[in-house]
């Protein structure tokens, strides 16, 4: 038997109940359960207290919206993430009807305008641009490259020579050049002074002589005397840029390309097809408006129109067949009679630029250009 408590049995029993947890040293399952229950109760109480505090703060700062008791400080409204700067694409990009498409073989980090200039929607711009091209195709059904050539070698040399001069002057000069140097091997081995004398009428004849001789040597050494049919190969040749490469690809190999010369740049900006000034960006922007199969003939239509009607200094607006579609109408002469006097080449009853033009051009009333020093 145990010892009796001097203070009485009831007090001993009560003290025994309250002191029981302290006297238990071993961690029994029952004690674990009690501990977990007590911990959860404390956590819930703390959570409710924090929730009420947060709810009171939220209600004070809003228009009557209360936060529930379960809202914790960690569940605050997300802060706006800082916007990232626009990426720089590896290639120029064009915006088509299907989205943004990279354009290869264009200088890196160049981007064309994603929106058409003015208040015109992109869909409206595409429709207007394609309608202009259709109208020009009816006006110039005989549009063609205005350089005389019989093979890719003659075309690439003639295109290099056309810089800073007219196609007419080149066409009057190349017959003598090709009669004396008919192949890349012949021109590569030519005496520079003799070539300079032949090319003198084209202007910048020393630089052009260096280019065509260097071009011929590269064709012989790197391509077996043949003009390559790939853009990446053509632009490596001396004196050959993207414009020249696309002239050769489109007209000697039948591969679509846009020729961005001075006439093309002027007209597409007047028509507000693009606001770009860089030739590579113009090429990409305009190319996105048309199917690839249209690119070569589109170039001919635009260049023909720029040489005959839509001139740089005084466009013949009053005689322009696409005047209703042109945002720049009125920049030139609008009187029909006065405008007709400004027309050039076959539109004005004058000779064209080729000595040997295509038969379709002759059938349409075109007049061949005179030989060098004729008349």
User: Which are the catalytic amino acids?
Assistant: 243, 261
**The two three-digit tokens of residue 277, written as one number:** 């000034």
Q: What are the two backbone dihedrals, phi and then psi, of residue 140, each rounded to the nearest 5 degrees?
A: -125, 65
**The two three-digit tokens of residue 271, written as one number:** 């028509």
- Asked if 93 contacts 102 with a C-beta cutoff of 8 angstroms, the reply is yes
Print the SS3 string covering the chain. Answer: CCCCCCCCHHHHHHHHHHHHHHHCCCCCHHHHHHHHHHHHHHHHHHHHHHHHHHHHHHHHHCCCCCCCCCCCHHHCCCCCCCCCCCCCCCCEEEEECCEEEEECCCCCCCCCCCCCCCCCCHHHHHHHHHHHHHHHHHHCCCCCCCCCCCCHHHHHHHHHHCCCCCHHHHHHHHHHHHHHCCCHHHHHCCCHHHHHHHHHHHCCHHHHHHHHHHHHHHHHHHHCCCCCCCHHHHCCCCCCCHHHHHHHHHHHCCCCCCCCCHHHHHHHHHCCCCCCCCHHHHHHHHHCCCCHHHHHHHHHHHHHHHHHCCCCCCCCHHHCCCHHHCCCCCCCCCCHHHHHCCCCHHHHCCCCCCCCCCHHHHHCCCCCCCCCCCC
Q: What are the two backbone dihedrals, phi and then psi, of residue 102, each rounded to the nearest 5 degrees?
A: -70, 145
Distance CA 162, CA 318 (A): 30
Tell which residue, 264, 263, 246, has the closest CA to residue 255: 246
Work out whether the CA dihedral 59, 64, 70, 74 comes out positive or negative: negative
């Amino acid at each position: 038997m145990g010892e009796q408590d001097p203070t009485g049995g009831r007090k001993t029993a009560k003290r025994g109940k309250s002191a029981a947890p302290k006297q238990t040293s071993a961690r029994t399952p029952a004690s674990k359960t009690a501990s977990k229950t007590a911990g959860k109760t404390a956590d819930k109480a703390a959570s409710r207290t924090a929730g009420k505090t947060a709810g009171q703060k939220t209600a004070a700062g809003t228009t009557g919206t209360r936060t529930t008791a379960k809202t914790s400080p960690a569940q605050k409204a997300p802060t706006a993430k800082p916007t990232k700067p626009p990426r720089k694409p590896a290639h120029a990009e064009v915006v088509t009807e299907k989205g943004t498409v990279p354009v290869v073989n264009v200088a890196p980090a160049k981007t064309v305008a994603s929106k058409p200039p003015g208040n015109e929607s992109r869909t409206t711009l595409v429709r207007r641009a394609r309608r202009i091209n259709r109208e020009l195709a009816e006006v110039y059904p005989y549009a063609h490259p205005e350089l005389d050539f019989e093979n890719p070698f003659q075309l690439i040399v003639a295109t290099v020579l056309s810089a800073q001069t007219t196609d007419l002057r080149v066409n009057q000069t190349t017959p003598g050049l090709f009669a004396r140097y008919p192949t890349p091997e012949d021109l590569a081995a030519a005496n520079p002074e003799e070539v300079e004398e032949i090319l003198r009428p084209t202007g910048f004849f020393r630089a052009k002589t260096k280019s065509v001789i260097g071009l011929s040597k590269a064709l012989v050494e790197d391509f077996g005397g043949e003009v390559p049919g790939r853009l990446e190969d053509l632009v490596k040749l001396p004196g050959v840029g993207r414009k020249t490469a696309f002239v050769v690809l489109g007209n000697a190999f039948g591969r679509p390309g846009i020729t961005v010369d001075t006439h093309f740049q002027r007209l597409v900006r007047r028509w507000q097809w693009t606001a770009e000034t860089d030739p590579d960006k113009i090429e990409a922007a305009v190319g996105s408006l048309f199917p690839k199969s249209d690119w070569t003939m589109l170039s001919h239509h635009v260049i023909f129109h720029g040489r005959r009607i839509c001139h740089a200094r005084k466009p013949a607006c009053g005689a322009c067949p696409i005047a209703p579609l042109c945002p720049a109408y009125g920049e030139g002469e609008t009187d029909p009679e006065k405008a007709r006097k400004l027309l050039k080449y076959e539109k004005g009853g004058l000779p064209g630029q080729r000595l040997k033009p295509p038969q379709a051009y002759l059938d349409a009333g075109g007049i061949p250009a005179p030989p060098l020093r004729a008349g």
